[in-house]
Amino acid sequence: MAAPSVTRPALMQDGNRQAFLLLRTVFTVAPILFGLDKYVRVLIADWERYLAPWMLRLTPFDAHTMMLVVGAIEIVAGILVAFLPRLGGYVVAAWLAGIIVSLVSVGGYLDIALRDFGLLIGALALSSLAAGQGYRLLGGRKG
């Protein structure tokens, strides 16, 4: 007996849904984990070294305190992606743009900046896929 045929639009929708779920999951989990690591220091990362000195001068904080603020923002961004993925994708993309500027300013981290640029594109793709899945920019899914 022949396998049931699946139309191309149905396959496309399934692929879009899978891509959306993968991106939503990673952009929820990663910012929350990296944000929490600013507090518990499980990873080997020395987060302060990635902060451009000129950016630090714009704040009233020392580098460690600034990284705690950064960690809190990352946690909030991950939660935002979980509940408002279309808006959250744009927030994460903007946040990654700031990280890229800092990494390029510090110098010596162009490889990480390039990786973060790829993540920025992924965050924008998440927002686009969320729109296709029926998510409004604010307020969750459309009826």
Domain residue spans in the chain?
Answer: 81-143
Question: 141 has which bridge partners?
Answer: 135
Average predicted confidence (pLDDT) for the chain: 89
Nearest Cα residue to 81 out of 40, 42, 119: 119
- The answer, as to whether pTM is greater than 0.85, is no
| Comparison of pLDDT for 135 and 32, the residue scoring more | 32
Coil, strand or helix: which one is 141?
strand
- Distance, in Å, from the CA atom of 8 to the CA atom of 92, rounded to the nearest integer, reads 32
Cβ atoms of residues 140 and 83 within 8 Å: yes
Reading the block at residue 90, the tokens are 């744009």
* pLDDT per residue as tens digits for the range 29-61: 999 999 999 999 888 778 888 899 999 999 999
* pLDDT per residue as tens digits for the range 112-130: 999 999 999 999 999 999 9
